[in-house]
Amino acid sequence: MVGKREEEDMAIIVSGRGMALVILVLSYILFYIFMYLGRKGREIPVRTLPPMAAIPEGIGRAAEMGRPVMFTPGIAGDLNDPTQGPQVLAAISILGYIARECARTGVKLDVFMPIPTALPLTEETLRTAYMAEGKPEEFSPDMIHFIAGQSPYLTAVLGYFQRERPATNFLIGGFYYESVVMGEGGNTIGAFQIGGTANTHQMPFLVATCDYVLLAEELYAAGASISKDPDILGCLRGEDIMKFILIALMIIGFILGFARNPALINVLRW
Amino acid sequence: MAEVLRREVVYLITAIVTILMFIEFFFIGTWNVAEELRTWATIIANISIALGAVRLLAEHAKNVQRRRAGVWPFSIWLWIIFLVTLLSGLAGYVIKQDAMTNPLYNWLFTWPYTSLGQTLYAITGFYIFSAAYRAFRARNIDAALLLIAGCFVILTNAPIGGVIWSGIPVIGRWFLDYGQVPGMRCFLIVAAFGMLAYGFRALLGRERGFYGEVAGE
């Protein structure tokens, strides 16, 4: 009979992470299956995200008013931060779309990037976007303003609001307290604002100060709304199924909890 | 061709690093490789800070060169402060191998920088009030419910709430501990799945939005 100590010595999975691995693998299998089906032509309906539909409207407003558009991804974390990094990457994905719209309509775009590791990626994204629209000469690295440190960054953005009075602000990414200050600062100059974050503690501020907001997974799925890309749509369908599985687990856990049965808890702690 | 190749190399590196990080997180005995990669990431991040500083100085040098109205005197000020901070930190490092030993460097950080930062942070309170005013206008049933819950939470946190009626803190605490927690956790779980899917697409090289490509076009 194998003792507990020997069992631990033979283990290859870190204790307590087994079920997380199962959920991860299951999610990836589902994502892959639906991505494959999407590429094969299976229709995956997805609702249009109002904030993404409002991006051309915001840029059109800036074109009519002859004022610039401002984009910033917040300063909550670096690219190698496990929770904030993906938000910044998703924000840069959306920036690519915004930059193409700005290039198409000839609107000046100002990007406030406080994250040094994301600077080269931002520059590359803007350059590619302007090239894709056939206007590489309109791209300039001066469009990207690097400000290190939360307070200096915030002060610089507020000063920019007062001097340049942008018609539209995009506050999309990982935010800390700068979200409410910039959101309100933008409101005082009458800017049209689109926000987005997956940081739960900042969502209420963006909801209160912005005209449209991308909340939680919408930030990562924004691309699907624009392009109906089968890869993103497939992932969305996979996410939906995983959510149903989690809801089922919650209901089972709720019932077992009433019966004082720890079976599910033990399985989840594996 | 070179551009395409360069991108593919980026996606390949992303995939390899992601797989290594997954293995390290879930499986025993793979710590060293992932730890080494994290050290590299820290080094690269620090190099990028230097690149950011160079970009910042270049931008402000252009402001001065072009005499940009209303901005260029501040750009000179930024250059001065940057040089003073850099040189005082380096002087401390050269003399005692520790930048923090230089009193000028310490003074710049402790008094002007920290005080100004704290001041700005304190101003946030006023912005929150003004944002709350906007959010709390009872335009529809949802906003009215938000207004009621918000009033209870504000009065719970303000000492006067308990004086007005002892039930206010109880109700406010309920909103804080039970009313909002399920909603926030729901957002957390949903955001986590969004992040998983995003990571999966990045792993397969199918998330290319951050290269200026609109997916599917």
Is it the case that residue A1 has pLDDT exceeding 60?
no
The residues with which A195 forms a beta bridge, in sequence order, are A171, A213
| CA-based nearest distance B167→chain A, Å | 26
Q: Which residue of A has its CA nearest to B4?
A: A128
Residues B165-212 pLDDT 10s: 999 999 999 999 998 898 888 889 988 998 888 888 888 877 766 655
What's the whole-number mean pLDDT along residues B87-106? Answer: 83
> What domains, with CATH codes, occur in chain A?
13-45+228-268 (no CATH), 61-227 (3.40.50.720)
CB distance from A5 to chain B under 8 Å?
no
Contact B209 A117 (CB under 8 A): no
Contact A35 B206 (CB under 8 A): yes
Q: Which residue of A has its CA nearest to B27?
A: A13
Query: Which H or E run contains B204?
Result: none
The SS3 of residue B91 is: helix
Contact A120 B41 (CB under 8 A): no
The residues with which A214 forms a beta bridge, in sequence order, are A196
Nearest alpha-carbon partner for A169 in A67, A66, A89: A67
Residues A84-135 pLDDT 10s: 888 998 899 899 999 999 999 999 999 999 998 898 889 988 998 999 999 9
Confidence of residue B95 (pLDDT cuts 50, 70, 90): confident
CA distance B213 to A96: 7
Contact A124 B212 (CB under 8 A): yes
Chain B hits for A147, Cβ within 8 Å:
56
Confidence of residue A269 (pLDDT cuts 50, 70, 90): confident
Sign of the dihedral through C-alpha A222, A225, A231, A235 = positive
Q: Which of A62-76, A105-119, B46-60 has the lowest mean pLDDT?
A: B46-60
Contact B214 A96 (CB under 8 A): yes
What is the per-residue burial (b if ≥16 Cβ within 10 Å, else e) of A53-75? ebbeebbbbbbeeebbbbbbbbb
Confidence of residue A10 (pLDDT cuts 50, 70, 90): low
Contact B209 A148 (CB under 8 A): no
CA distance A193 to B134: 14
Residues A15-42 pLDDT 10s: 889 999 999 999 999 999 999 998 898 8
Nearest to B198 among A14, A90, A200 (CB): A90
The residue ranges of every structural domain in chain B are 1-66, 67-120, 136-204
Chain A hits for B56, Cβ within 8 Å:
146-148
| CA-based nearest distance A40→chain B, Å | 14
Confidence of residue B216 (pLDDT cuts 50, 70, 90): very low
CA distance B101 to A233: 56
Is it the case that residue B4 has pLDDT exceeding 70?
no
CA distance A149 to A255: 49
Helix spans in chain A (H): 4-10, 18-39, 50-65, 85-105, 119-132, 150-164, 178-188, 203-209, 217-227, 230-258, 263-268
CB distance from A226 to chain B under 8 Å?
yes
CB distance from A250 to chain B under 8 Å?
no
User: Which of A46, A165, A184 to mutate to probe the B interface, most B CBs <10 Å?
Assistant: A184
pLDDT value of residue B215: 47
Is it the case that residue A160 has pLDDT exceeding 80?
yes
Is it the case that residue A4 has pLDDT exceeding 70?
no
Q: Which of A44-48, A157-161, A174-178 has the lowest mean pLDDT?
A: A44-48
Is it the case that residue B83 has pLDDT exceeding 90?
yes
CA distance B205 to B3: 15
Cβ atoms B172, B161 nearer than 8 A: yes
Residues A189-235 pLDDT 10s: 999 999 999 999 899 899 989 999 999 888 888 877 777 788 888 88
Is it the case that residue B51 has pLDDT exceeding 60?
yes
Q: Which residue of B has its CA nearest to A127?
A: B212
CB distance from A140 to chain B under 8 Å?
no
- Which amino acid makes up residue A234? G
| CA-based nearest distance A177→chain B, Å | 8
pLDDT value of residue B89: 87
Q: Which of A52-56, A76-80, A253-257, A259-263 has the lowest mean pLDDT?
A: A76-80
pLDDT value of residue B140: 81
pLDDT value of residue A100: 92
**Comparing A156 with A231, which gets the higher pLDDT?**
A156
* pLDDT, mean over chain B: 85
Nearest to B134 among A198, A208, A230 (CB): A208
- Edge-to-edge order in the sheet of strand A69-72: A144-146, A109-113, A69-72, A168-172, A192-197, A212-215
Contact A13 B26 (CB under 8 A): yes
* pLDDT, mean over chain A: 89
Q: What is the DSSP letter of B27?
A: B
Q: Which residue of B has its CA nearest to A124?
A: B211
Contact A180 B198 (CB under 8 A): no
